[in-house]
Amino acid sequence: MAAKSIGILTFDIMKGRPAGPVQLTETRERNGCDGAEIRKLGKRERDVRIRTTKTALTEAAATLLVTSYEDAIGELLDIIDAGNNTHSDCLIRDVRTRIVGVINPTSDATHTRQVRAIWTVRELST
Res. 37: pLDDT tops 60? yes
Secondary structure letter of residue 63 according to DSSP: H
Lowest mean pLDDT among 35-39, 83-87, 111-115: 35-39
CA-CA-CA-CA torsion sign (11, 114, 64, 66):
positive
Residue 1: predicted pLDDT: 44
What pLDDT score does 125 carry?
65
Please report, in angstroms and rounded to a whole number, the separation of the first and last CA atoms in the chain: 21
Q: How far apart are CA 84 and CA 5, in angstroms?
A: 9
Q: What is the pLDDT of residue 119?
A: 95
Q: What is the pLDDT, as a whole number, of residue 63? A: 93
In the predicted model, is pLDDT for residue 2 greater than 60?
Answer: no
Mean predicted confidence (pLDDT) in 22-39: 80
> Would you state the pLDDT for residue 51?
94
What are the pLDDT digits (tens) for 78-111?
Answer: 998 888 888 888 899 999 999 998 766 666 556 7
For residue 49, which amino acid is it? R
Look over the chain and give the mean of its residue pLDDT values, rounded to a whole number: 84
Q: What is the pLDDT of residues 63-81, one digit of tens each?
A: 999 999 999 999 999 998 8
- For the chain, what percent of residues have pLDDT higher than 70? 89
Distance CA 20, CA 122 (A): 8
Sign of CA dihedral 71, 74, 77, 81: positive
Under 8 Å CB-to-CB from 110, ≥6 apart: which residues?
103, 104
Report domain extents, the chain: 5-18+47-123
Supply the Cα-derived Rg of the chain in whole angstroms. 20
Mean pLDDT for 11-29 is: 80
Q: Is the dihedral of CA 113, 102, 6, 50 positive or negative?
A: negative
Q: Are 80 and 38 in contact (CB under 8 A)?
A: no
